[in-house]
Amino acid sequence: MPAQPDLGFPHRFEPATTQGAPCVLLLHGTGGDETSLVPLGKAIAPGAALLSPRGKVLEQGLARFFRRRTEGEFDQVDLETRTKELAAFVNEASAAYSIPAGKLVAAGFSNGANIASSLILRFPEALAGALLMRGMVPFVPQQAVDLKRRPVLLLSGVDDPIVGTDEVEELADIFRAANAEVTLHWETAGHTLSQGDVLMAFDWMRKFFYAPRAAKPK
């Protein structure tokens, strides 16, 4: 793979192999890196371009996208700063890799879902939509946000020990209040993704972000 420019985040970019496919911004969970979600990205968005940054915060050696005080208690100042950095990265990467406007869809897992929510709520123009896997409420917006019917899919686990069902409902309500086109899917699972999540994500991507139909994952 040719050397990739430093756009403020260590990252990996894979160009699209299918015309009309979206570009997916892959945002890993705590302890992941820029390679972690690449197989998932290929499964849910065949032929899509993949843009995958590595979170720059280290928690006991594990990469994350922003600091937290404890599990589920976020450092809001750091979250805001890191979200701005990610928005700048998205802008620069879009120019560097010729990602067309309106083609970038976030797909975040856990900590990556949380910064994806923060990104789209703070910078609605940065993303065409967001797939939030096992996401939490990153912050409650104090001002009205208009996501202009952007699709948002929440993939949540009924038995998730980290994200409670009330929090997921609150997150869905935040996006509904922001005029997003919200799909909330409850999977019989915990925090770990299951095959049902992958199939839901695939169908949602195909419905909203592809021109032609793509083959189902095995």
Residue 25 sits at the vertex; the CA angle it makes with 153 and 9, to the nearest 5 degrees, is: 140
Identified binder of ligand MLT from the candidate list 15, 72, 100, 102, rule CB under 6 A: 72
CB 27 within 8 A of CB 109: yes
Q: Per this entry, what is the length of the chain?
A: 218
Segment near ligand MLT (CB under 6 A); pick from 43-51, 108-116, 171-179, 203-211:
108-116
Q: How many of the other CB atoms lie within 10 Å of CB of 196?
A: 15
Interface map 156-195 toward ligand MLT (x if CB under 6 A): ------x---------------------------------
Catalytic position from the list 33, 75, 78, 191: 191
Shortest distance, position 153 Cβ to ligand MLT, whole Å: 18
- State the amino acid at position 168 in one-letter form: V
Question: Distance (Å, rounded) from C-alpha 110 to C-alpha 102?
Answer: 24
Q: Which residues have a Cβ under 8 Å from the Cβ of 191 and sit 6 or more positions away?
A: 110, 134, 157, 160, 161, 162, 163
List, in sequence order, the alpha helices (H) in 97-164.
Answer: 111-122
Catalytic position from the list 36, 52, 94, 110: 110
Q: Which residues pair with 181 in a beta bridge?
A: 151
The DSSP output letter for 164 is: -
Shortest distance, position 211 Cβ to ligand MLT, whole Å: 34
Identified binder of ligand MLT from the candidate list 3, 71, 142, 213, rule CB under 6 A: 71
Please indicate whether residue 191 is annotated as part of the active site.
yes
Please indicate whether residue 160 is annotated as part of the active site.
yes
Helix (H, G, I), strand (E, B) or coil at 196: helix
Token pair for 17: 């192999």
Identified binder of ligand MLT from the candidate list 94, 111, 117, 118, rule CB under 6 A: 111
Identified binder of ligand MLT from the candidate list 13, 24, 28, 29, rule CB under 6 A: 29
Shortest distance, position 70 Cβ to ligand MLT, whole Å: 9
Shortest distance, position 29 Cβ to ligand MLT, whole Å: 6
Residues involved in catalysis: 110, 160, 191
The residues binding ligand MLT (CB under 6 A) are 29-30, 68, 71-72, 110-111, 114, 136, 162
